[in-house]
Structure 1
Amino acid sequence: MMRNRALSCLLTMLLIATADSTQNTVVRLEMAHRDTLSPTAFRRIEDIIGEDKKRHTMISQKRKTKGGFKMPLGSGVDYGAAQYFTEVSVGTPAKKFRVVVDTGSELTWVNCRFHGKGKEKVENRSVFRAEESSSFRKVGCLTQTCKVDLMNLFSLSSCPTPSTPCSYDYRYADGSTAQGVFARETFTVNLTNGRKRRLRNLIGCSNSFTGESFRGADGVLGLAFSDYSFTSRAVDLFGGRFSYCLVDHLSHKNVSNYLIFGSSPTSTKTTAAARTAPLNLDLIPPFYAIDIVGISLGDKMLDIPAQVWDGTAGGGTILDSGTSLTFLADAAYTIVVEALERSLVGFKRVKPEGVPIEYCFSSTSGFDESKLPQLTFHFKGGARFEPHRRSYLVDTAPGVKCLGFVSAGTPATNVVGNIMQQNYLWQFDTLASTLSFAPSTCV
């Protein structure tokens, strides 16, 4: 969940290994999408586009050890959310929490009770009782960490006694909020060699949180590229790389893949050779900026002004797992939608109630998506990303499809959202500053 410039820095993740392991393994976290628990998966489009727009506003304002581990990763459709979930094990003894996977934020936190403060389990959510964990250590409000290191992470200035913990009041761009205290705690991860490993981290113990962003979740796993995110320390310890494969966003919770930290090859099967493109980690921090230079439809390159892709002039593009739809600056949005519209002549335009997407049409009368020209994102250096057609023709109601693009304004950061990324394997190499990707079933 991203936020404005004043909210740009989040929680420091100080991952310190507490067990020796130099095996050539990777850590994998299973990951799932969270789109709707309601009777229909389509009603969530109205909610997610509002969340996406607020998130995009904030984006536009913000400018070693070998081996690894894995986490389960899957769609949140069964939990009523439009993002992807994984599970993390926190504390001693370890307790599992279902968290949103967010490459656009730095804060990692869980639903937590500390000194009796915080909500008990509600809405099928788990609660972490800090005082029952032998490894929980609060960060004091008078410490250097609180007063200096976490100053831009919304640590609060109030400090009535030296023993008072360092508190935060974090507000996301879509209006969601999380309040709590910073603490050092242990994460237990599963290595791919079958062993477990404990990592010491600085996380957020949130005793209060509100907002649709956390629908069905116990917290957030912040994966932005920053000294304060889970990613930076995890890749430092496990080889500089992480990867994920996003299953179809309407998949149920029994369908999943993995979020993997580590350099060992993944077992995920791809249907074509991987392509590699530059990953610009310094251009729009803390986001993962990619060097898109154009978009084509079929064999025709669309006439989009070059400044749309210029990250030094207010444009540029990021890849974000926490935004569902894909945002394009006005100059690109208009051209892309008009080009796709010409390919949809003959299909009735419709306006589904509560769906704030500009172009929707009836797909009940002989629509064949395979006849729609292939949309392609062109990277600097020649790599091409060809999303699946269902990734830019989004099902929003029975018999209704919409173009999965949102106008971002001018100037604006372009955002490739998680629906556009689905059924691709993505590998981020933070040492080489490269992004590799290949189509995959993710199962």
Structure 2
Amino acid sequence: MATSISFVGLSCFLLSLCLVCSLKEGYAFEELIESYAESYLTHTFEVSSLFASSICNHSTKANERESTFRVVDKYGPCFQPSLHRSVVPPSLTDIIRSDRARIYSIQARLSKNSGRRDLIVEPNSLGIPIIDGSAFDTLSYLVKVGLGTPKKDLSLILDTGSRLTWTQCEPCRSCYKQSEPLYDRDDSNSYVTIPRNDPVCEYVRRPVDPPRPINLCSYEISYGDGSVSVGFFSKETLTMSAAEKINSFLFGCGTDNKGPFNLVAGILGLNQEDASIVFQTAQKYNKIFSYCLPSSTSSTGHLTFGSQTPAPAGIKYTKLVAEKSPFYGLDLIGIGLGGTKLNIPESIFTTPGTIIDSGAVFSYLPPVAYMTFRDKFRVAMSAYPLIPGPTAAIETCYDFSKSTSVTVPEISFFFKDGTIVGIPGKYSFIEYNTTLTCLGFQDGGDKHSIIGNKVQRTMEVVYDVPGQRVGFAPNGCS
């Protein structure tokens, strides 16, 4: 026994001696650091890149495709109406309150008790009046479409959670202010009314007090904040580009509208219901579309219909969960930092499920997942000053004003089919000003996880409905 112990002791001594010698030469230490760096993925970016410039930087991808709309941020120089009227971006407090209203509406529709269409309230991608009645906008993305013949250019909210495309119409009995001239059906030679007894009139909810004439198909669509659009369900020519037009496109011609829409002409509905543009153009584009949301308010992205050849470089597909329709559901089973999956039970994610949404700003995780993720994120960011957020809900914020660059761990989404999608750490933040930048994740309660629009920035997100899959490709806007 003594000989055995002596042998072990001698072995340990010799091993230690070798390690000391290696460390002295620097090799083992350097290898250890290199190994750690490879296993912990980070991204370093200039702090100045978080904030928009006064000049619009156009995406080159939008110019390369025919069936494409340009996507812009509502509050930047790429949204041309902002040149004519100042639009003040919402505060982070306003954003989270508005986001919560949208999330509650989405959860209501996903609930088993929300099956009746006449009781369904569309999720709101725009704003919510809070206690005092003030209206707050969220950070939405816009596409400019051409409607009518000759076409009238209109800026609409890109919304994967809405089934109906609508805009304000003349003659308007009650309309909110918008920057662009209202669409006037009398000025278009391609506008077509739909009779009340037409089968497509079943796609929309009829108002209790329909506008005159009552023999025409009318619609009403309401949102979580009390905003509403009422008018006539009609047909018109929708222009994407000089070479791409959609004839007899079904849309809502709103003659009574209210809500905090702030300059925007209406909504472009992209969900999985009959009246959405995705399903209306199924014969031409096969229910396939993709978008790339711009990196900042001074950049542009694109919304493209139809499959792309060749496919976007580096694209990764994951399964589309059919039972979450009309929303786009995903089989999320985990979240990671630095390339490593966090120790969170998969059931935390799979029991309620997950959807991806173009209208929600923040991303929402179940409580256990959020707290684990938040705590690990703070540890990884301990080199930077953690400061109080504007509300209890926005609790992980930083002041980067004394830094020229920031290093952030990569965020990963882990899906049931083995797909792992990495998000550059820069897009885990929502920046408000030079001294206030906050983590773009929130506690979503014991409900569905939601992948919001800020973490989707610069990726090309491909929705392949017939293939029942959603794809993610890096560098989609450049």
Do the two structures share a fold, i.e. TM-score over 0.5? yes
For residue 394 of structure 1, report the CA deviation from its aligned partner.
2.0
Structure label with greater radius of gyration: 2
For residue 181 of structure 1, report the CA deviation from its aligned partner.
1.9
Tell me what 1:21 maps to: none
Tell me what 2:413 maps to: 377
Q: Give the counterpart of 2:342 among 302, 307, 312.
A: 302
> Are positions 1:30 and 2:59 aligned together?
no
> Are positions 1:415 and 2:450 aligned together?
yes
- Give ranges in structure 1 of 5+ residues lacking alignment: 1-24, 64-75
Tell me what 1:326 maps to: 363
> Are positions 1:293 and 2:333 aligned together?
yes
- One-letter amino acid of the structure 1 residue matched with residue 346 of structure 2: A
Cα distance in 2 for residues equivalent to 1:52 and 1:40: 19
- Give the 5 Å matches for 1:394-413: 394-410=430-446, 412-413=447-448
Do the aligned residues in 1 keep the contact of 2:138 with 2:361 (CA within 8 Å)? no
> Are positions 1:210 and 2:258 aligned together?
yes
Query: Are the structure 2 counterparts of residues 232 and 162 from structure 1 closer, same or farther at C-alpha, using a change threshold of 3 Å?
Result: same
Cα distance in 2 for residues equivalent to 1:428 and 1:287: 11
Do the aligned residues in 1 keep the contact of 2:356 with 2:450 (CA within 8 Å)? yes
Query: Are the structure 2 counterparts of residues 364 and 198 from structure 1 closer, same or farther at C-alpha, using a change threshold of 3 Å?
Result: closer
Cα distance in 1 for residues equivalent to 2:87 and 2:371: 30
Query: Are the structure 2 counterparts of residues 395 and 198 from structure 1 closer, same or farther at C-alpha, using a change threshold of 3 Å?
Result: closer
> Are positions 1:427 and 2:462 aligned together?
yes
Q: Give the counterpart of 2:316 among 275, 280, 294.
A: 275
Tell me what 2:379 maps to: 342
Q: Give the counterpart of 2:308 among 257, 260, 264.
A: 264
Cα distance in 2 for residues equivalent to 1:439 and 1:144: 42
SS in 1 for 2:423: coil
Tell me what 1:199 maps to: 247
- One-letter amino acid of the structure 2 residue matched with residue 53 of structure 1: R
Q: Give the counterpart of 1:88 among 127, 145, 151.
A: 145
Tell me what 1:251 maps to: 297
Cα distance in 1 for residues equivalent to 2:146 and 2:310: 22
- One-letter amino acid of the structure 2 residue matched with residue 259 of structure 1: L
> Are positions 1:117 and 2:117 aligned together?
no
For residue 368 of structure 1, report the CA deviation from its aligned partner.
4.7
1:209-260 superposed Cα distances (whole Å, 9 cap, x missing partner): 3333x23311100000122211112233223321111111x322xx323211
For residue 28 of structure 1, report the CA deviation from its aligned partner.
0.8
Q: Give the counterpart of 1:188 among 239, 244, 269.
A: 239
Q: Give the counterpart of 2:284 among 224, 237, 259.
A: 237
> Are positions 1:57 and 2:91 aligned together?
no
Q: Name which of structure 1's ranges 257-266 and 96-105 shifts more when overlaid on structure 2.
A: 257-266
Do the aligned residues in 2 keep the contact of 1:59 with 1:413 (CA within 8 Å)? no
For residue 424 of structure 1, report the CA deviation from its aligned partner.
0.5
For residue 157 of structure 1, report the CA deviation from its aligned partner.
4.3
Aligned pairs, how many?
Answer: 382
For residue 84 of structure 1, report the CA deviation from its aligned partner.
0.9
For residue 56 of structure 1, report the CA deviation from its aligned partner.
0.6
1:263-298 superposed Cα distances (whole Å, 9 cap, x missing partner): 23379xx6x621121122x22111111111111112
Using the aligned pairs only, state the percent identity. Answer: 26
Tell me what 1:73 maps to: none
TM-score (normalizing by structure 1) = 0.78
Tell me what 1:179 maps to: 230
For residue 414 of structure 1, report the CA deviation from its aligned partner.
1.0
What is the aligned-residue RMSD (CA, Å)?
2.8
Tell me what 1:5 maps to: none
For residue 160 of structure 1, report the CA deviation from its aligned partner.
8.9
Do the aligned residues in 2 keep the contact of 1:138 with 1:182 (CA within 8 Å)? yes
For residue 42 of structure 1, report the CA deviation from its aligned partner.
6.5
- Give ranges in structure 2 of 5+ residues lacking alignment: 1-64, 77-81, 111-125, 127-136
Query: Are the structure 2 counterparts of residues 203 and 356 from structure 1 closer, same or farther at C-alpha, using a change threshold of 3 Å?
Result: same
Cα distance in 2 for residues equivalent to 1:257 and 1:346: 33
Cα distance in 1 for residues equivalent to 2:217 and 2:86: 42
Do the aligned residues in 2 keep the contact of 1:35 with 1:81 (CA within 8 Å)? no
- One-letter amino acid of the structure 1 residue matched with residue 406 of structure 2: E
Cα distance in 2 for residues equivalent to 1:181 and 1:97: 18
Do the aligned residues in 1 keep the contact of 2:217 with 2:233 (CA within 8 Å)? yes
Cα distance in 2 for residues equivalent to 1:196 and 1:222: 19
Q: Name which of structure 1's ranges 255-264 and 333-342 shifts more when overlaid on structure 2.
A: 255-264
Do the aligned residues in 2 keep the contact of 1:104 with 1:320 (CA within 8 Å)? yes
1:36-72 superposed Cα distances (whole Å, 9 cap, x missing partner): 6698976442322212111111111222xxxxxxxxx
SS in 2 for 1:377: strand
For residue 364 of structure 1, report the CA deviation from its aligned partner.
3.0
Cα distance in 2 for residues equivalent to 1:126 and 1:405: 37
Do the aligned residues in 2 keep the contact of 1:374 with 1:386 (CA within 8 Å)? yes
Whose helix fraction is larger, Structure 1's or Structure 2's? 2
TM-score (normalizing by structure 2) = 0.73
SS in 2 for 1:57: helix
For residue 349 of structure 1, report the CA deviation from its aligned partner.
3.0
Tell me what 2:122 maps to: none
Tell me what 2:471 maps to: 436
Query: Are the structure 2 counterparts of residues 40 and 127 from structure 1 closer, same or farther at C-alpha, using a change threshold of 3 Å?
Result: closer
For residue 300 of structure 1, report the CA deviation from its aligned partner.
3.3
